[in-house]
Structure 1
Amino acid sequence: MTAVTAARRGRRVLVLEHNGRVGNKILISGGGRCNFTNYLATPDNYLSGNPDFCKSALARFKPQQFIDWVEQHGISYHEKKLGQLFCDESSRQITGLLLQDCADAGVEILVNTKVTGVEAAPAGEGSARLIVQTDKGPMSCESVVVATGGLSFPKLGANDIGYRIAKSFGLNVTEVRPGLVPLTFSPRDVKAYGDLSGISMDVVVSCAGRRFRENILFTHRGLSGPAILQISSYWKEGQPLTIDLSPDEKLEEWLVSKQPERTELVNVLSLRLPKRFVQAWCARDCPSKPINQFAIKRLREIAQTLHRWEIYPAGTEGYSKAEVTLGGVDTGELSSKTMEAKRVPGLFFVGEVVDVTGHLGGFNFQWAWASGAAAGGSA
């Protein structure tokens, strides 16, 4: 995005890519169909040490502008849910769009090129302000835009070079950690729920004042699914997740109405919740017996517990399973209008390497496009 925007302004642009092809993260996204934006994107969909930082870039490059670009290339797409837009065919269409427009604008792309650092150019280097050190030799330039991403997907070559470049110029980098990532059970919860792998439930998950209504998915090691990935960006070690297992139906009066029956509690609850989950939950927390043997007060307590099921995750599945990296180059070091480092003229940071992280559902791509366009308009 930065390369196309800058080249269309008449700038000579060279893209350095350490992999053998560009856009690997785009290619695997959305199950191979690329959730390329979310037309509902607003600044409220982003986490940052400075929540206002993303407003300028997002306001100047909106989802509709990328949608228009997609349509100009004849790429068909569809909304999956909640504003999430996917290619009908393949994520290769998005990389193809970007590569085609780069070529048309005269952008040069150099793959299999490892960047080892960036430094200030010495006096007398003409218009060059910075030197990029690579395994193919040093390259002098007026501007450098760091679009290296974060630490997620290490198998695709993700590394910390973007953070190291920032630190080498004395720029602050906030704490980084995996985001949009599955959470793991404690040993006690693994014993109780580890055999429920594959069970999916529509729930409301809450933590740290945030809540998300989507599915959770049990795994052998913990919890995943859209609701868990979303809340993981807000969760910190030691905090509980509170999960409403029946957000549409209030269980309290329903359970009380069943009290005269002789049916086992596990069978009654299985009318509303997956039976395997109910069996595991009852086995650990509420031994089943005929429902008419429970006092009304106890049935109300059971219902309330299922509406506020608490789980204390042991941790996350780490960067190998994380969609994004939380934290990054401190936004206080950058111009929100241009993404240029305030103390290093010519040095820009865009996308995931910056301390701006979107929710699940196309928001991080929209930040990539918006921040890239902001930098490309100035670099």
Structure 2
Amino acid sequence: MELKKARSLIGLLVLSSFISLFNVFPSNAASVLAAWLITSDGVLKLRTASKAKLEAYFQRGQGNTGDRIWIDFPGELIKPRKLKGNGPIDEIRLGKPFKGNTRLVIEFNKSVSLNPYKLKLVGTSENLWKLDFVGLNKVGIKSIGEGSLSRSSKNSYISNVRSKTLSNKLNSENLPNIPNGKYKIIVDPGHGGPDPGAKGLNGLIETDIVLEISRQVSRLLREKGINVKLTRYRDIDVDLQQRVSIANRSNADAFISIHANASRGNRRDISGIETFFYRGYKGRTLASNIQKQLLMISEGSPNRGVRQSNFFVIRHTNMPAALVEVGFITGRLDARLLSQTSYRKKIAFAISKGIINYLRQVY
């Protein structure tokens, strides 16, 4: 089946001080914004429902404001919100400029100067769109977004092809090479036994998810010649001090504790990936490498960042340590993803790659 591409206008319409980038009227476009993602290489990606018109605009920065791009969607936003940007992106805002509409605004730093005549919103399938910020300095951009881009419509199969291609690469042969037998890693599956950890949607339990992911991380790292030890190999109770003792007796090069998150009040609108460290350049570098790889496979789960914290297991271990929260099992988006075996395999592969990249970078 041939994919139908949305039309975009090459000519630009000047509206007062605004430039309309596109006024798109495809037969199979979107009615509401379902998901959005700004990738680390400076591309805005959208997923929408069908049969709608998208209108996108550019406004040159003035005074204390930078250049901005916004896109209007039919269908009213329930909860307006602001998200802090990163790199050259100052802020992302989602609002309702008037009743019955949703507006996504990307505002850039004052130092950014875009050429609107090189910007084009393109429909890549009947419900997927992309806009490349041509000419933007991509340094410092970290992926940020909401929702999943992979949920495809009946005539859209681009995302399915990507997922299938990636799943064929989730093995140790596709991890970076590293000297055999040189490194030792401790992987700590959080909770266990009488302490199941967080309980989420669809019957998800934290202890089960993190033990499965941890076993897969252990297998992948061992296949690359890394000496790996788990703090628990099955669903048993291991207290925090015992986990720390296992790590400190091992003289390991790094300690990684794997968890799944839960929001207060079990709010279904909260999802996201975050990685914590306690101290030092190596701890931050370990956490940053893991977080970077997780965001590359996150399928729209928001970036909650690399953060410093004093969790017991990373505060008392003698080696560089990181604590990973792979998603909110109480969140509608993350719970759906983490319930999938294929996604948990992606998480394990990403954590493994982050660890190996850290070892290659630091040692």
TM-score grouping bracket, smaller chain normalisation? under 0.3
Q: Which structure exhibits the higher relative contact order, with contacts defined as CA atoms closer than 8 Å and separated by 6 or more residues?
A: 1
Question: TM-score, length-normalised on structure 1?
Answer: 0.24
> Going by fraction, where is helix more abundant, 1 or 2?
1
Mark the structure with the bigger radius of gyration.
1
> Going by fraction, where is strand more abundant, 1 or 2?
2
